[in-house]
Amino acid sequence: MSRLDFDFYESEDPVWNPALLTIPVPGIRKMVNLAATMDDVIHLSIGQPDAPAPPHVIQATVDALEAGQTGYTMDAGLPELLDALAEYNGERYGRQISPENILVTTGATEAIYLALTAVSAPGREFIVPDPSFMLYAPLIRMNGGEVKYIPTRAENNHQLDPQDVIDAIDKNTHAIVLNSPSNPTGTVYPRETIETIVQEAAYRGLYVISDEVYDHLVYDNREYASVLSCCSDLDHVMVISSFSKTFSMAGMRIGWMIASQGAIKKLRRYHMFTTTVANTPCQWAGVAALRGDRSFVDDIIETYRKRRDRLVQLVEQTPYMEGYMPEGAFYLFPSLPEGVNGNNVALRLLRETGVCTIAGDTFGETCRNALRISYATSIDNIEKAFERIIPWMEKQDFD
């Protein structure tokens, strides 16, 4: 970590809002920054697709620019994109969704920010799976909210037990955060898990905030259960997704939230005071992604499935790593022996082998003996990485 990073994250200078101290040093950024100072690094760390966006999506962006579509859109989003999202998600999940149920945001990150910071407050408790995407807990805590983690484990494929969630609900519980497929585990929750949690939340008057950015990256013909297909109405749900992972549009920053019309009206006002509107030309790219040829998605799903299968085989051959079969996204989250510090292992792996992974404690409190491995890279890179990892692990004494 650079001196500048340390100063920003550790300074108690009174000029800064104390809420910033709830934001941890990003473990991913720390590893990637260190890797940037080294030669011959193989990245199993990056959480973005390695393929370019489809040609017709790129061309739609160029066409929009050339047509002068460089001004603001409506605050909720480009009307054509809102219509396309309503139609697409309505057909996919078998329910009526109107454009008034949708807010287009600057990536899913803004949608998550809006959802969590708009409803968190001192004394409000949020139930969050552990491990989980590193954004949730800090955003909840920034506004004084509290996080109650529900641990999951590699030996159970990091599945979330809905009864554990129900048992964790108390008088202070305000919302439940879900992420399926999961970052960092690649776990896909079955329909019965989602339905049980959503139904209990509705009965208790709790919000379910569901991060579904990997909703298309599901393998082995497994059914994908969105909260949208498991709730009776949208009154207590916020469902978030984006084009970033599905269409390799991560840098184009177009995401969205689907919720009740009342919630969207409130969040539109909040959105106007954060990013105002999402990128206009790239919203036209989103229209092209939904309305145009979607064979790209089928192709990348098959590519990721092959990479996943090979990665699982290699982890099985690696001493001290306990893997499983992830059902979606492009991550595997193998555990190391109990008591082993995954952060130390990740740093040593990078310095001594040139393979960059991400330590488990980036994603929660009960998974310090784990590593996140991304297979958003070629099988060739995965093979080369494990040609370094396996001999290194064979030399360790973690017992």
Exposed e or buried b per residue across 53-64, where buried means at least 16 C-beta atoms within 10 angstroms of its C-beta: bbeebbebbeeb
3-state secondary structure of 346: helix
pLDDT for the residue 30: 81
Mean pLDDT of the chain: 94
pLDDT for the residue 246: 97
Where does 83-168 show beta strands of DSSP type E?
102-106, 125-130, 146-151
Q: How far is CA 294 from CA 54, 61, 144, 328, in A?
A: 9, 17, 42, 18
Mean pLDDT, range 126-148, rounded to an integer: 96
Is residue 37 classed exposed, middle or buried when 0-12, 13-18 and 19+ CB atoms within 10 A define those classes?
A: exposed
pLDDT for the residue 29: 76
pLDDT for the residue 45: 94
Residue by residue, DSSP assigns 322-337 as B-----BTTEE-PBPS
Please indicate whether residue 6 or residue 122 has the higher confidence score (pLDDT): 122
The C-alpha atoms of residue 363 and residue 269 are separated, in whole angstroms, by 31
Quote the longest CA-to-CA distance of the chain.
Answer: 64
Mean pLDDT, range 354-367, rounded to an integer: 94
Domains and CATH numbers, the chain: 18-52+296-394 (3.90.1150.10), 55-291 (3.40.640.10)
Exposed e or buried b per residue across 337-354, where buried means at least 16 C-beta atoms within 10 angstroms of its C-beta: eeebebbebbbebbeebb
Q: At residue 2, does pLDDT exceed 60?
A: no
pLDDT for the residue 375: 98
What angle (nearest 5°) sits at the alpha carbon of residue 363, between those of residues 361 and 368?
25
Task: Report the candidate in 354, 349, 302 with the shortest Cα–Cα distance to residue 321.
Answer: 349
pLDDT in tens, 285-318: 999 999 999 999 999 999 999 999 999 999 999 9
Instruction: Please tell me the least confidently modeled range out of 2-6, 195-199, 246-250, 358-362.
Output: 2-6
Q: At residue 8, does pLDDT exceed 50?
A: no
Confidence at 112, pLDDT banded by 50, 70, 90 = very high
pLDDT in tens, 245-284: 999 999 999 999 999 999 999 999 999 999 999 999 999 9
Compute the CA torsion angle 359, 364, 368, 369 (nearest 10 deg).
Answer: -80
Q: By the 8 A CB rule, do 123 and 172 touch?
A: yes
Is residue 65 classed exposed, middle or buried when 0-12, 13-18 and 19+ CB atoms within 10 A define those classes?
A: middle
What single-letter amino acid sits at 4? L
Question: Position of tokens 């297909």?
Answer: 229
Q: At residue 144, does pLDDT exceed 50?
A: yes
pLDDT in tens, 51-72: 999 999 999 999 999 999 999 9
Q: At residue 3, does pLDDT exceed 50?
A: no
Confidence at 26, pLDDT banded by 50, 70, 90 = low
Look up residue 154 and give its two tokens.
């590699």
pLDDT for the residue 226: 98
pLDDT in tens, 331-349: 999 999 999 999 999 999 9
Please indicate whether residue 28 or residue 273 has the higher confidence score (pLDDT): 273
pLDDT for the residue 109: 97
